[in-house]
Chain A
Amino acid sequence: MALNKEVYKEFEDVVGEENICNDPAIMPAYFSTEFAAVILPGNTAEVQAIVKLCNKHKMQFRPICTGWTGMFPPGIILLDLRRMNRIIEINEKNMYAVVEPYVISSQLQAELMKRGLNFCIKGAGTNCTAMLRGHGHMDQTTSGDDRNHLAIEWITPEGDIVRSGSLGSSDEWFCGDGPGPSLRSILTSAVPPGVTPGVFTKAAVKLYHWSGPSAYPVEGISPHYSLSEIPPNMMARYFSFPSVEKMWQAELKIGESEICFELMGFNISMVAANITTSNEEEEETFNRLNKEVQGPGFFVIVVGDTPADFEYKQRVLEKIVSENDGKSLKAVEDPRIEGILMCQCTRISASIRETFRNGGAFNSIPIMGQRDLTIKWAIGAGKAKEPLIEKGYIVDDGGAFFGWGVEQGHLGKTEIFCKFDPGNPEAKAAVEGWQKEQNRRAFTERYFASTMGPQDEIGPALLNYHLWWQKITEALDPNGVSPSGGSLV
């Protein structure tokens, strides 16, 4: 829907002419969608005014943060929140930070590390917003998903400002729940797609202690970065195990013993991706490392709060690994590689080399929840990848899956993906078929339900949650101006 001049002018009055654009030239940059206009609000008041105007004119809108992914209906107003990029507060004593949507994780993390703190970095990478939901490398000790949210400032689809939890009552950010039932119930959960209608304009996230360096001593010129030294009381290793069961047992015990800062169930293909600087080098490295590993494995980072703590953690790790016949990958024992991985996994979250470099696309099935259960399913999903590898449709990663324990193994995440060339229609179809079939199997065999699948099939089997959600969104958004489908990465 094109904006008529008068309406355009109303939006322009809110943000100024330099911050609104409906020229067709810019649209391919934004998800190849023909938006009615792209607007760059600069603060909460502007967002509110825009949302009110959208209601007045029955125009649909969606917000984006860095906007890596997302599906957007054409003709809507896109709120690109790029100008809202302030760190509002870092409260060291009470371990939370308040940020606007376009503060990227890397910025916040760098500020936190200076203060001996850290926070959950999304697997998507530190190039994404620090503000909302995500899970990634450091979930073992920094939790993940909606569980790190504290108070949130939210512009409802009707344009009201809701300040959840302690923020609404006492102007403090430390708590997002109450008075009474928690609005966090509807302000995002663990899984995409879609987010709560409206716009989140500020949010507080939980922080965690960090005993690592205030900044990594990175040296070299891109892409050949390395650490000049391994920071004191820190260590990174990759262990492979003779079986999935042994790997899982070791992972479980590590979680229970609370000894690892990070436990990332990388497969060896992902290790190869992260320690190499080109596709060719990656392939060669994968083939080499794949011969060295004895089976599935994981990558760990140990951080000691004190030398005594570090020593204790190392000793327990050694014991657990040895009890489960784990074997340390020699390549990662090389301080040059150890340092890169340590730094990448905590500071970048490493995702792009693993996912997009090979062919420019990947299709994935991510599952949050009970790690041992999802591993069980993923073994089958991995086997089902093998024919696609044989046919050359997808990158050979040994049919592997990956995942990690969350909150010292209380929860977990398992994911499996296929990397392919999206320009190859046969490969694309094969991958989509694999994805559909593995989701179906998970569903019929009662492992989990991917809520990214068709809602009409899944919803009824999950107590019609989709209808409840629909009711909620209708109540919050009576004018239907805030369609779902975005993803705030």
Chain B
Amino acid sequence: MALEDYRGDMEMCCRCSTCKFIPMQKVKGAQYVNVCPSIAKYNFHAYSAGGRLNIAAAMLKDGFKYTDKLLDIVYNCQLCGACGVSCNYAMDMEVLQPISEFRLRCVEDGKTNPALDKVIAGLQKQGTMVPGAKGKRGDWATGLKLKDATKEKVDVLYHVGCLTSYDKNMQKLAKATVKILQKAGVNFGIAGNAETCCGGRAYQMGYKEDFLNQAKKNMDMIKKAGIKTLVTGCADGYQAFKVLYDKYNLKGDLEVLHISEYIDKLIKDGKLKLNKKVNLNVTYHDPCRLGRLGEPWIHWEGKKVPGDRFVFDPPKEYRRGTKGVYEPPRDVLKSIPGVKLTEMTRIKEYAWCCGAGGGVNESNPGFARWTARERIEEAGSTGAEAIVTACPWCEKNFSETIKENGSNLKVYDIVELVEKAI
């Protein structure tokens, strides 16, 4: 669906500002009430979801008038989707979709962000979202003797993802994952150098064609290799394979699981035992694209029923963030002996974003760190020693922010803790 198709949704915005805050009944005090990093940082209403919808609706009506400010607004958004969850508690209207479509439109119109152009150029050249990546994608696995899923029959393809593959500090996640899967006796493989970027982050940045390109490459490889189940440790990858590929009818029957879901399943099936004590007080950060945006895509086409209500034929079921992946990572953490989980104020469907999504990490690192800082402070307020996440982009942003600003808080991916427990 194009931006035009969301005209009715955009016009439904009543400017109530709910999109700026966590759901009202979840507000626990004066602090941690914001849910949208963009309006929280930039304050002009234009940076809120409501403001964005009103601007987009006005542009549809009066023509697109690009200014530097407009592009500043467009690109300073992590597209984390929290606005939509808060809005959709009460309203039946799409929020994130038109905002996302507006960005696609900007790129289509050539109104791109130079920093993002550079990243996409890297993607086009090297098939990765890690600019200036050195070496080969599968180098991290050297010596691990893992199965090549493109050549050998495996039950599970472990899609490693760009950051985990190329970033030296993140490769530990891939190694931990391998250890866990091996311990559980899973017949899995990787695609090694044949793996390519999922395209999800390119899509967030507004580069739809590049996303589709990547999606096609991936699905060709997967089909060719006869892969039935894909496990990824990256929330962006998870959302790309599971939701975006489905949105564009590319997913087919592929089962997509996040590593946290898979580990949870392995534990519950008795295939993985967590025996070693890991004495740690932790809090869990829901990555946006594993949580609220990990909710399955709902295919729908229909027309508004004429009359007083904004209803459709056939009825439209909205994705309100209800069916995201919230419990499996928590269940995994709870299974680790010695780990004590204390929740933050903003969790699950209304979790505060780490700041790294939507291209912000690349286009405005300062804003990405600012967003992370807020989350780190919130995590610290729980008394936890560590913040645990389930996405390398979150971990990287948190770690770098802590390095920059100082904090005693440790940052872990969930697989790192599981690795310690086996």
Chain A residues with CB under 8 Å of chain B are 18-19, 21, 23-26, 28-32, 38, 40, 66-69, 80, 82-83, 87, 103-104, 106-111, 114, 125-128, 215-216, 218, 221-225, 277-280, 283, 343-344, 347-348, 352-353, 355-361, 392-395, 419-424, 427
Min Cβ gap B306→A in Å is 8
A352 contacts B311, C-beta separation under 8 Å? no
| A347-B24 contact, Cβ under 8 Å, with A25-B55, A25-B69, A359-B309 | yes
CB of A91, distance to nearest CB on chain B (Å): 15
A361 surroundings in chain B (CB, below 8 A): 14
> Which B residues between 338 and 367 are near A, CB-CB below 8 angstroms?
348-350
Given known A-B contacts A40-B43, A420-B308, A29 and B33 have beta carbons under 8 A apart: no
B57 within 8 A of A: yes
Q: What distance in Å separates the Cβ of A202 from its nearest Cβ neighbour in chain B?
A: 15
Query: A107 to B69, Cβ gap below 8 A?
Result: no
- Residue of B46, B50, B58, B321 touching A222 (CB-CB under 8 A): B321
A125 contact set on B, CB distance < 8 A: 16, 18, 24
Residues from chain B with Cβ under 8 Å of A107 in the complex: 27, 29-30, 33
Give how many A-B residue pairs fall within 8 Å (CB-CB): 190
Looking at the assembled complex, report how far the CB atom of B54 sits from the nearest CB atom of chain A, in whole angstroms.
5
Query: In this assembly, does B221 line the interface, its C-beta being within 8 Å of a C-beta of chain A?
Result: no
CA distance A392 to B18 in the complex (A): 30
Chain B 81-100, CB within 8 Å of chain A: the 1/0 string? 00001101111100000000
Q: Which single residue of chain A is at the shortest CB-CB distance from B345?
A: A110
Within 8 Å CB of A348, what residues of B?
A: 24-25
User: What 4 pairs between A and B have smallest CB-CB spacing?
Assistant: A29-B51, A28-B58, A23-B69, A25-B70
Closest to A355 in B: B14
B349 pairs with A26, CB closer than 8 A: no
Cα separation A125 to B18 with both chains bound (whole Å) = 10
B300 interface residue per 8 A CB criterion:
no
Q: Assess the B14–A356 pair: CB atoms within 8 A.
A: yes
Contact B23 A225 (CB under 8 A): yes
Q: Are B308 and A67 in contact (CB under 8 A)?
A: no
Interface bits B12-49 vs A (CB < 8 Å: 1, else 0): 10111110010111111110010000000011111010
Q: Kindly state the separation between the CA atoms of A356 and B89 in the bound complex, as whole angstroms.
A: 12
Q: How far is the CA of A215 from the CA of B46 in the complex (A)?
A: 33
- Answer whether A221 and B29 are a contact pair too, CB < 8 Å, given A126-B24, A393-B308: no
Q: Are B322 and A80 in contact (CB under 8 A)?
A: no
Which residues does chain A contribute within 8 Å of B57, judged by CB atoms?
A: 28
Decide if A106 touches B51 in the complex (CB within 8 Å).
no
Closest residue to B17 on the A side, CB-wise?
A66
Q: Are B311 and A29 in contact (CB under 8 A)?
A: no
In the bound assembly, the distance between CA atoms of A108 and B31 in angstroms comes to 10
Given contacts A24-B65, A127-B21, A356-B12, A222 and B350 within 8 Å (CB-CB) = yes
Interface residue B11 (Cβ < 8 Å from any Cβ of A):
yes
Residue of B nearest to A28 (CB): B58
A134 to chain B, nearest CB (A): 14
Chain B minimum-CB-distance residue to A21: B44
Q: A26-B73, A66-B17 are in contact. List 8 more A-B contacts (CB 8 A).
A: A23-B70, A222-B349, A223-B322, A225-B25, A343-B25, A352-B90, A356-B16, A358-B308
Quick check: B92 and A28 within 8 Å, CB to CB?
A: no
The reply to whether the CB of B185 lies closer than 8 angstroms to some CB of chain A is no
18 A-B contacts, Cβ less than 8 Å apart? A23-B68, A24-B65, A25-B69, A25-B70, A26-B44, A28-B57, A40-B44, A67-B15, A108-B30, A126-B24, A128-B17, A222-B320, A222-B322, A223-B88, A279-B92, A352-B16, A356-B90, A357-B90
Contact call B43/A80, Cβ cutoff below 8 A:
yes
Whether B45 and A280, one on each chain, are in contact in the complex, defined by CB atoms closer than 8 angstroms, is no
Least CB distance from A117 to B in Å reads 13
The distance in angstroms between the C-alpha atoms of A355 and B18, with both chains bound, is 14
Are A279 and B310 closer than 8 Å at their CB atoms? yes
Task: Give the CA-CA distance A32 to B46 in the complex, in Å.
Answer: 11
B67 at interface, CB cutoff 8 A: yes
| Interface footprint category on B | 35 or more
- What is the distance, in angstroms, from A389's C-beta to the closest C-beta of chain B? 9
With A24-B67, A29-B54 known to touch, is A423 a contact of B11 (CB < 8 Å)?
yes
Q: Within 8 Å of chain A (Cβ to Cβ): is B284?
A: no
Contact call B321/A357, Cβ cutoff below 8 A:
no
Q: How far is the CA of A67 from the CA of B58 in the complex (A)?
A: 19
Closest to B51 in A: A29
Within 8 Å CB of A422, what residues of B?
11
Q: What is the chain B residue whose CB lies nearest that of A124?
A: B16
Residues of A within 8 A of B350 (CB): 222
Question: Are the C-beta atoms of B92 and A278 separated by less than 8 Å?
Answer: yes
Tell me if B50 and A29 are in contact (CB < 8 A): yes
B318: CB under 8 A from chain A? yes
**Contact status B18-A221, CB under 8 Å:** no
Q: Could you tell me if B308 and A395 are in contact, using CB atoms closer than 8 angstroms?
A: yes
Given the complex, which residues of A lie within 8 Å of B59, measured CB to CB?
28
CA distance A422 to B14 in the complex (A): 12
Please tell me which one of the listed residues A68, A106, A223 contacts residue B16 in the complex, with CB atoms under 8 A apart: A68
Smallest Cβ distance from A284 to chain B, in angstroms?
11
Q: Which residues of B250-303 are within 8 A (CB) of A? A: none
Give the chain B neighbours of A343 by CB distance below 8 A: 25
Q: How far is the CB of A89 from chain B (nearest CB, A)?
A: 12
**Closest CB-CB distance, B249 to chain A, in whole Å?**
25
Q: With an 8 A cutoff between CB atoms, is B114 at the interface?
A: no
The answer to whether A29 and B46 touch across the interface, beta carbons within 8 angstroms, is yes
The reply to whether B50 and A347 form a contact with Cβ atoms under 8 Å apart is: no
* Given A30-B45, A82-B43: A68 in contact with B15 (beta carbons within 8 A): yes
Q: Which B residues are CB-close (under 8 A) to A66?
A: 17
Residues of A within 8 A of B90 (CB): 223, 352-353, 356-357
Inter-chain contact B91/A357, CB cutoff 8 Å: yes
Q: With A223-B320, A283-B309, A352-B90 known to touch, is A104 a contact of B44 (CB < 8 Å)?
A: no
Given contacts A23-B70, A358-B310, contact A29 B45 (CB under 8 A): yes
A residues within 8 A CB of B15? 31, 67-69
A421/B65 in contact, CB under 8 A: no
Bound form: Cα–Cα A348–B323 in Å: 23
Are A106 and B55 in contact, CB atoms less than 8 angstroms apart? no
Check B309–A111 contact: CB distance below 8 A.
no
Residue among A21, A111, A127, A420 having the largest count of chain B Cβ atoms under 10 Å: A127
Q: How far is the CB of B257 from chain A (nearest CB, A)?
A: 20
Q: How far is the CB of A445 from chain B (nearest CB, A)?
A: 29
Please report the C-alpha to C-alpha distance between residue A419 and residue B51 in the assembled complex, in whole angstroms.
Answer: 23
- Contact residues in A for B315 (Cβ distance below 8 Å): 278, 280
**A31, closest chain B residue (CB):** B15
Does B208 count as interface, using CB distance less than 8 angstroms?
A: no
Min C-beta distance of B174 to chain A, whole Å: 31
Q: Which residues of chain B come closer than 8 Å to A126, judged between CB atoms?
A: 24, 27
CB closest residue in chain B, given A83? B43
Q: Which residues of A contact B46 (CB under 8 A)?
A: 25-26, 29-30
CA distance A28 to B15 in the complex (A): 11
Alpha-carbon separation in the docked complex, A393 to B89 (Å): 26
Given contacts A26-B73, A28-B55, A218-B26, A127 and B17 within 8 Å (CB-CB) = yes
With the chains together, A127 CA to B34 CA distance in Å? Answer: 11
